[in-house]
């Protein structure tokens, strides 16, 4: 497969293949922190801190069980193995926004390992393997203003899931697709709100280049990207930078880089540290987390967005279109309830209506509730040809706004399509009789008038005459004139 087929700028060539792995930090959606009662809300600086977050002597961590349950739930949604025994470790480093002097993380024994989720590239499915999800604490924030640095410790101890992928991604589009599927999945199961502006999700991008089929090259890590757009830009910049170095015979240095949002460039931050630098050790204040099967099985969620998407795509529609419904919980529910008793062909009609007229209506009226049974009834009428597409649009809006069954609306407004060939034949006869001038012109060779007659019939029936039958009857009638 040719992985890089777009113009990425000056350094573009098809010689180098990107190899990308992500480390994603997803904030567990909880009221309180991983090891303290302090609130996780987005609040005024230094108002949400407890003793342990401040690293006060003698303060002890108390594990928030909610975080364990949500990590398990996330792991199951990503097809991971849940470890019955996991442990917390201390990862030491010195920084003013880390008063404890260490981060509490799960280095040796994470809570989940070895999963995967599918992504789609056009109509192909590909599994992206997830190496692990472990729980860890976030650090505080340093804010540099003029010549001063301010510290906000609100984020100290905020629960994070670090989700680490295998290096299975091959370009920026795969990264974007993967990230969006992951984000929607965590949101759907309620384990992470996924708001990137609030720092609830961010990613480190690891990227190296290689010649297709060869061993992986040396990787560079770009830290803390807080939007999909920045991830894509950083990847494209690194592709160019690394390929230029390799082209000129140079070597890539393993390092950690930062993305500059203003220039779109990545810059050196520090050399890559080794695990040994952190002096990892099991945290003596925290007992191991022991789980049993009953506990784990209670937590599993189904109907995940990527499952919904794959199911809808079985109708023969593209993954990309199916995703429009799958990533939106309301549309998913509406589609699935309406589709329940429909035949496959009608499901396809329903699908087109949902991603078309229904979505446009919801965009204009965001809080509207649509009755799935009424939507299904309307689709059945459209599918049977009992009502024209144009009339159906009118009925759709009416049944949503008036909460009356589509069948009743069709009856009340007389919108039923005329499908009887005999009835249409009669109307064709009457209408054309009244157009003597055009009939003369047609007889004299003006073939273009065929569509005029069809239009006249449709107009005379206020759009209710079945267009296909009308066309046939008009042609038959005209043939007899000659």
Q: Which of helix, strand or coil describes residue 323? A: helix
164 touching ligand ADP, by CB under 6 A: yes
User: Which of these segments, 193-201, 205-213, 348-356, 469-477, binds ligand ADP (CB under 6 A)?
Assistant: 205-213
Q: Rounded to the nearest whole angstrom, what is the least distance from the CB of residue 99 to ligand ADP in the complex?
A: 25
206 touching ligand ADP, by CB under 6 A: yes
For 453-475, the DSSP string reads HHHHHHHHTTT-B-HHHHHHHHH
- 42, 95, 150, 216: residue in contact with ligand ADP (rule CB under 6 A): 216
428 touching ligand ADP, by CB under 6 A: no
Cβ atoms within 10 Å, residue 336: 15
166 touching ligand ADP, by CB under 6 A: yes
How many residues touch ligand ADP under the rule CB under 6 A: the total is 14
User: Which of these segments, 118-126, 202-210, 231-239, 286-294, binds ligand ADP (CB under 6 A)?
Assistant: 202-210
Report angle CA 267, 269, 271 to the nearest 5 degrees: 120
305 touching ligand ADP, by CB under 6 A: no
Report angle CA 479, 480, 482 to the nearest 5 degrees: 75
Q: For residues 222 and 205, what is the distance between their CA atoms, to the nearest angstrom?
A: 5
Q: For residues 427 and 421, what is the distance between their CA atoms, to the nearest angstrom?
A: 10
Select 22 or 181, whichever has its Cβ closest to ligand ADP: 22
80 touching ligand ADP, by CB under 6 A: no
**Do residues 256 and 219 lie in contact, with contact meaning Cβ atoms separated by under 8 Å?**
no
User: Which of these segments, 77-85, 159-167, 235-243, 372-380, binds ligand ADP (CB under 6 A)?
Assistant: 159-167
223 strand-pairing partners: 258
Select 188 or 219, whichever has its Cβ closest to ligand ADP: 219
Q: For residues 70 and 163, what is the distance between their CA atoms, to the nearest angstrom?
A: 13
Residue from 233, 235, 292 nearest 263 by CA: 233
Residue from 175, 204, 206, 181 nearest 194 by CA: 181
DSSP letter at 169 equals B
Select 3 or 295, whichever has its Cβ closest to ligand ADP: 3
Q: Rounded to the nearest whole angstrom, what is the least distance from the CB of residue 23 to ligand ADP in the complex?
A: 5
Select 200 or 206, whichever has its Cβ closest to ligand ADP: 206
Q: Rounded to the nearest whole angstrom, what is the least distance from the CB of residue 167 to ligand ADP in the complex?
A: 4
Residues 349-388, interacting with ligand ADP (CB under 6 A)? none
Q: Rounded to the nearest whole angstrom, what is the least distance from the CB of residue 195 to ligand ADP in the complex?
A: 23
Q: Which of helix, strand or coil describes residue 220? A: strand
Q: Which DSSP helix (H) or strand (E) runs through 151?
A: strand 148-152
Select 241 or 450, whichever has its Cβ closest to ligand ADP: 241
173 touching ligand ADP, by CB under 6 A: no
Residues 16-45, interacting with ligand ADP (CB under 6 A)? 19-23
For 264-304, the DSSP string reads TEEEEEEEPPPGGGGT-EE-TTSPPEE--HHHHHHH-----
Pairing of strands 159-165, 16-27: antiparallel
Q: Rounded to the nearest whole angstrom, what is the least distance from the CB of residue 41 to ligand ADP in the complex?
A: 30
Q: Rounded to the nearest whole angstrom, what is the least distance from the CB of residue 164 to ligand ADP in the complex?
A: 5
Q: Burial level of 409, CB count in 10 A (0-12/13-18/19+)?
A: buried
Instruction: Give residue for tokens 């295998």.
Output: 166
**Do residues 103 and 125 lie in contact, with contact meaning Cβ atoms separated by under 8 Å?**
no
Residue 308: which residues within 8 A CB-CB, separation 6 or more? 322, 325, 326, 332, 336
Q: Rounded to the nearest whole angstrom, what is the least distance from the CB of residue 166 to ligand ADP in the complex?
A: 5
242 touching ligand ADP, by CB under 6 A: no
- 29, 40, 64, 165: residue in contact with ligand ADP (rule CB under 6 A): 165
Q: Rounded to the nearest whole angstrom, what is the least distance from the CB of residue 208 to ligand ADP in the complex?
A: 3
Q: Rounded to the nearest whole angstrom, what is the least distance from the CB of residue 367 to ligand ADP in the complex?
A: 40
Select 138 or 473, whichever has its Cβ closest to ligand ADP: 138
409 touching ligand ADP, by CB under 6 A: no
Residue 357: which residues within 8 A CB-CB, separation 6 or more? 393, 396
Q: Rounded to the nearest whole angstrom, what is the least distance from the CB of residue 219 to ligand ADP in the complex?
A: 4
User: Which of these segments, 82-90, 162-170, 285-293, 325-333, binds ligand ADP (CB under 6 A)?
Assistant: 162-170
Residue 445: which residues within 8 A CB-CB, separation 6 or more? none
Select 252 or 286, whichever has its Cβ closest to ligand ADP: 252
Q: Rounded to the nearest whole angstrom, what is the least distance from the CB of residue 130 to ligand ADP in the complex?
A: 9
Cβ atoms within 10 Å, residue 261: 14
User: Which of these segments, 163-171, 327-335, 386-394, 427-435, binds ligand ADP (CB under 6 A)?
Assistant: 163-171
- Residues in touch with ligand ADP (CB under 6 A): 19-23, 164-167, 206-208, 216, 219
């Amino acid at each position: 497969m040719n992985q890089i087929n777009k113009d990425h700028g000056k350094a573009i060539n098809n010689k180098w293949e990107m190899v990308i792995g992500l480390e994603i930090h997803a904030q567990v959606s909880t009221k309180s922190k991983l090891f303290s009662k302090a609130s996780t809300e987005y609040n005024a600086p230094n108002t949400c801190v407890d003793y342990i977050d401040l690293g006060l002597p003698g303060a002890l961590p108390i594990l928030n069980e909610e975080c364990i349950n949500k990590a398990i739930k996330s792991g199951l949604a990503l097809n991971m193995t849940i470890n019955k025994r996991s442990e917390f470790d201390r990862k030491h480093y010195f920084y003013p926004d880390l008063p404890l002097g260490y981060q509490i993380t799960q280095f040796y024994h994470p809570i989940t390992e070895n999963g995967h989720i599918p992504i789609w590239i056009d109509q192909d499915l590909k599994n992206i393997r997830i190496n692990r999800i472990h729980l860890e604490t976030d650090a505080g924030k340093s804010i540099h203003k003029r010549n001063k640095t301010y510290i906000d410790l609100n984020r100290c101890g905020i629960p994070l899931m670090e989700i680490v992928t295998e290096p299975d991604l091959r370009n920026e589009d795969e990264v974007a697709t993967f990230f969006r599927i992951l984000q929607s999945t965590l949101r759907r199961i309620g384990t992470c709100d996924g708001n990137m502006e609030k720092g609830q999700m961010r990613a480190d991008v690891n990227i190296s280049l290689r010649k297709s089929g060869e061993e992986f090259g040396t990787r560079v890590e770009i830290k803390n990207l807080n939007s999909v757009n920045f991830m894509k830009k950083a990847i494209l910049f690194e592709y160019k930078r690394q390929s230029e170095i390799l082209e000129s015979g140079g070597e890539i240095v393993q390092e950690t880089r930062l993305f500059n949002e203003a220039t779109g460039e990545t810059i050196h931050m520090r050399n890559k540290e080794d695990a040994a630098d952190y002096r990892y050790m099991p945290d003596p204040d925290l007992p191991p987390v022991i789980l049993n099967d009953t506990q784990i099985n209670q937590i599993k969620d189904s109907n995940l967005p990527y499952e919904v998407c794959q199911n809808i795509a079985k109708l023969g529609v593209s993954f990309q279109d199916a995703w429009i419904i799958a990533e939106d919980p309301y549309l998913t529910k509406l589609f699935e309830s309406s589709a329940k008793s429909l035949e496959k062909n009608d499901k396809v009609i329903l699908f087109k209506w949902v991603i078309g007229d229904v979505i446009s209506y919801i965009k204009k009226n965001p809080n509207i509730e649509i009755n799935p049974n009424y939507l299904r009834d309307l689709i059945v009428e459209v599918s049977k040809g009992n009502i024209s597409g144009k009339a159906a649009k009118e009925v759709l809006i009416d049944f949503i706004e008036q909460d009356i069954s589509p069948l009743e609306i069709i009856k009340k407004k007389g919108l039923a399509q005329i499908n009887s060939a005999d009835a249409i034949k009669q109307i064709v006869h009457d209408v054309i009789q009244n157009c003597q001038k055009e009939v003369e012109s047609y007889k004299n060779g003006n073939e273009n008038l065929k569509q005029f007659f069809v239009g006249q019939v449709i107009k005379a029936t206020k759009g209710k005459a079945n267009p296909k039958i009308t066309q046939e009857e008009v042609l038959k009638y005209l043939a007899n004139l000659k």
